[in-house]
Structure 1
C-alpha cells in the first residue's frame, strides 16, 4: 500500500510540474508577475493524491475568465494547459503507476 501511495504521489507531482509548465507558457505576459506566480502543490491522503495548479495573484481569475462588467476579455491560460494535454497527462499517470 505504501508503494502505491508513493507512486500516486510521484504521478501527481509530475502532472503538477507538467501542467505548471504549460500554464506558464500559456499565460499572457505584461510584467511576468502572473507567469512567475504559477505553481503547483500536491495533497495526499492514504487513498488518493491531488494536485493543485494555480496562482496566488489576486487578478489571476480575472485573466483566466475575464470580467465582462469591465470589458476585460478572458485570456485562459490554466484550463487549456489541462484540456489540451489530456493525452500527455494520462500517459504520465499511467507510466508512473506502472513503475
Structure 2
C-alpha cells in the first residue's frame, strides 16, 4: 500500500525521460532536415522545403527557410518539439546548414 503513493512520481519521472528523448530527437531531425534542404536547394532553387519535409519523420512539423548567397545556400530548419508532459512547453529546435550552389 505504501508504494501506491510513489507510482505517480515514477510515472512523472518516466514521462520526463521520454520528453528529454523527444527533445534530443527533434534537434537531431532539425539538423538532418537542414542538411537535406540545403542539398536540395543547392541543386534546384525552391526545393528546400520539400527536401526538409522528406528528411524528417512524418509526425514532426518542420519548416525551412533558404537564404541564397552568391555561391552558396543556407537553409534553416525549425522543428516543433512535441510535449507529452503537461505544462512543459519548449521552443522549437532550430538548425542551419550551408551548401555550395551546384546549378
State the TM bucket, normalised to the shorter chain: 0.3 to 0.5
| TM-score of the pair, normalised by structure 1 | 0.36
Question: Which structure shows the higher strand fraction?
Answer: 2
| TM-score of the pair, normalised by structure 2 | 0.35
Question: Which structure shows the higher helix fraction?
Answer: 1
Higher gyration radius (CA): 2
Higher RCO, Cα 8 Å, sep 6+: 1
